């Protein structure tokens, strides 16, 4: 690592003179800010706020960017914009529409159980409305981040929809800890306010009706997203909030990253313990769900997905 620190700065000067491009894999992310003391820009992963230890960086004469350099950072610009919220383009990749179709089909099928005795057309129509409510809970969470970002004077570049969770992209991660916290709070606040509205809707609707089923979908979606977003993982709001609260409390940024990663490891262990307990009770479906969730969280902690 000492040899790496000694040799990389001269290589960067050569890149600057020759305008060459080279991708290397960094093992120690803490040395990156020290390598770029000449005001070059270090931009962290736009989707996660935090750069994983195995991220790829592209060195150019002006900046360092993850995942393939400037071209990788700007790939979202070619994605179609479906609408604009708060001045921020919301863009959808093709796989997002597959998720929409699958969600519609699944929610129409669940409607048969929660709202029995109706026609196929009724289930298709109510399933479509339920899908819209689910997307409002999910995409609305991401859109709410733009409100916190604007209030914190930390602009948002775009919201990117794909086959997994929506991604809020920021043009610049070089903002103060308080700004990181403010723009990360918008989503959870939206979800928990939505959960409160859902509880009220449940009290006002009759069981085994279309209105009750739609209220259930909205409430469950808002609650799940609200809980999951506060998990201590780098790719979600909980990890971002934990990291920058630790920094405000006096921790160095690298140390705060490590604490968040260990919190993620603890979450994996907790999920596996929970899976073992429910397995003893014979709840095999719940056991499988907890094991699958632990596997996903473990992959996130390892930096394999995110």
| pTM metric for this prediction | 0.72
Q: Which comes out higher in pLDDT, residue 183 or 69?
A: 183
pLDDT over 70 at 300, yes or no: yes
Q: What Cα–Cα distance (Å) separates residue 83 from each residue in 79, 86, 88, 92, 282?
A: 12, 10, 9, 9, 47
Instruction: Please write the tens of the pLDDT for every residue from 250-265.
Output: 888 889 989 999 999 9
pLDDT over 50 at 285, yes or no: yes
| DSSP conformation letters of 58-122 | EE-SSEEEETTHHHHHTGGGGSPEEEEETTEEEEE-HHHHHHHHHHHHHHHHHHHHHS-S--HHH
What confidence score (pLDDT) does residue 296 get?
87
pLDDT over 70 at 14, yes or no: no
Instruction: Please write the tens of the pLDDT for every residue from 57-80.
Output: 232 233 333 333 344 445 677 889
What confidence score (pLDDT) does residue 107 get?
94
pLDDT band at 145 (very low <50, low <70, confident <90, very high): very high
What confidence score (pLDDT) does residue 297 get?
85
Distance CA 257, CA 45 (A): 14
What confidence score (pLDDT) does residue 306 get?
64
Q: Which comes out higher in pLDDT, residue 73 or 228?
A: 228
Distance CA 106, CA 123 (A): 11
What confidence score (pLDDT) does residue 75 get?
66
Q: Which comes out higher in pLDDT, residue 49 or 203?
A: 203
Interacting residues of 52 by C-beta distance below 8 A, sequence separation 6+: 29, 45, 234, 303, 306
Q: What mean pLDDT is predicted for residues 75-89?
A: 88
Q: What mean pLDDT is predicted for residues 265-277?
A: 92
pLDDT over 70 at 55, yes or no: no
- Comparing CA positions, the residue from 88, 195, 192, 230 lying closest to residue 145 is 88
- Residue 59's region, left for phi above 0, alpha for psi from -120 to 50, else beta, is beta
Q: What mean pLDDT is predicted for residues 85-104?
A: 94
pLDDT over 50 at 156, yes or no: yes
pLDDT over 70 at 287, yes or no: yes
- Residues above pLDDT 70, as percent of the chain: 75
Q: What mean pLDDT is predicted for residues 14-42?
A: 37
């Amino acid at each position: 690592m000492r040899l790496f620190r000694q040799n990389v700065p001269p290589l960067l000067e050569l890149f600057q003179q020759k305008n060459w491009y080279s991708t290397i894999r960094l093992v120690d992310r803490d040395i990156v800010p020290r390598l770029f003391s000449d005001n070059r820009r270090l931009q962290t992963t736009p989707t996660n706020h935090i750069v994983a230890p195995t991220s790829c960086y592209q060195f150019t004469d002006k900046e360092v960017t993850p995942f393939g350099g400037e071209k990788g950072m700007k790939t979202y610009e070619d994605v179609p914009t479906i609408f604009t919220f708060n001045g921020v383009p919301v863009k959808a990749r093709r796989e997002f529409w597959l998720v929409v179709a699958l969600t519609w089909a699944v929610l129409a099928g669940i409607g048969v159980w929660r709202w029995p005795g109706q026609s196929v057309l009724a289930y298709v129509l109510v399933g479509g409305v339920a899908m819209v409510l689910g997307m409002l809970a999910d995409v609305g969470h991401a859109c709410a981040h733009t409100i916190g970002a604007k209030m914190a004077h930390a602009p948002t570049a775009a919201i990117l929809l794909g086959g997994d969770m929506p991604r809020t992209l920021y043009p610049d991660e070089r903002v103060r800890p308080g700004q990181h916290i403010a723009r990360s709070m918008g989503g959870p606040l939206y979800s928990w306010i939505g959960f409160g509205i859902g509880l009220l809707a449940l009290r006002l609707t009759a069981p085994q009706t279309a209105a009750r089923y739609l209220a259930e979908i909205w409430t469950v979606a808002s609650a799940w997203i609200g809980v999951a977003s506060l998990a201590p993982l780098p790719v979600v709001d909980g990890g971002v909030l934990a990291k920058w609260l630790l920094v405000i409390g006096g921790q160095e940024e690298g140390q705060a990253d490590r604490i968040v990663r260990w919190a993620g490891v603890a979450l994996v262990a907790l999920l596996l313990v929970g899976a073992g307990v429910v397995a003893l009770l014979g709840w095999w479906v719940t056991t499988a769900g907890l094991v699958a969730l632990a596997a996903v969280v473990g992959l996130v902690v390892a930096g394999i997905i995110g």
